[in-house]
Amino acid sequence: MRRVKASVALGVGAAFAMAFGVGVERASAISNPSGTSQVEITNPAFSGFTTWRINGVDHAFSNTYWVRVPGQGVQRVDDLDFVGQLGGGDSDDFVTGLWRDPQNGFDVQIGMSVSDGNPTQLPVNITVKKSPNAQGTLGLEGVSVYEYSDMDLGQTGPDETLTIDGGNDTTQTDRFTAGGMTFDAVYQQNSAQQPDHYTAGLKMSEADVQALFANDLNDTNSFPVGVADDGAFAFQWTFNLDTQGDNTPSGLADDEFKISITKSIRVDKVIPEPATTMLGLAGISALGAYLSRRRRNA
């Protein structure tokens, strides 16, 4: 548990501040109702997650969100002013954080929850919206939100696969061993709002991610199969904010833009092939016969 240090922009009412838990103790993890899946964040002001455990096995390394305003560069959502948080307590299965860009007059709200079942799902909802106290028309054109994800399924990398179909549907697979058993893990992701651009390849440092997001993504998958490394991927959504109806295709008011992402992980125990099982039984039988002969000859 940590104490949230938040800066609340002028104009946010006391009731709003209390609802978002400004300055109160918050946990940094959420769990599904059965307790089999936990998602952890490094602190309450962190917009993404660093750990996603299913039955005690971690499948994530880094998930971060970034925003770029033309002419002003790109920055992590975390680096905006943190207004506060809803949920994220020890028994909560959801968390919602709110960040503010006072210079440009918009807020970024990111909420996530975690479900039961196999696959277990992690819906993420992002809303970029004109701040309540912003004056006049923002008229922001070409604003971009980026997501960077480095999923380490089972915390292994050499044999994983990573594909992005149609610029939206992500599938990542890997095989891992835990508790003396072998499992196959499949990660999938889809956005209800078609991303404008994407990229996939090897994992990157934060400095490299920031440099990548300084421009539009290149719509390529350069992840090599069978390498001793981990894959990562990124998506980009670009939109206008509060520009007199330029967001009409999205079906939203012109002073907000929403992104709905569904992430899921399915973990299945690997069942040995019948031939492999019979070979193993034959080996055990032969070993038993050998030991029996040794005892008779002793």
pLDDT the model gives residue 166: 95
pLDDT the model gives residue 281: 46
Sorted by where each begins, the domain ranges of the chain are 2-272
Contact (CB, 8 A) for 189 and 262: yes
Element containing residue 178 per DSSP (H, E): strand 169-178
The whole model's pTM is what?
Answer: 0.81
Q: Give the mean pLDDT of 208-213.
A: 94
Asked if pLDDT for residue 121 goes beyond 60, the answer is: yes
State the chain's mean pLDDT as an integer: 80
CA distance 189 to 192: 10
> What's the token pair of residue 93?
């299965």
> What's the token pair of residue 41?
């964040």
Q: Say which CATH superfamily domain 2-272 falls into.
A: Glycoside hydrolase, family 65, N-terminal domain (2.70.98.40)
- 70 — alpha (psi -120 to 50), left (phi > 0) or beta? beta
Structure-model confidence comparison of residues 292 and 197, the more confident one: 197
> What's the token pair of residue 296?
């008779």
Q: Give the mean pLDDT of 152-173.
A: 87
CA distance 32 to 220: 34
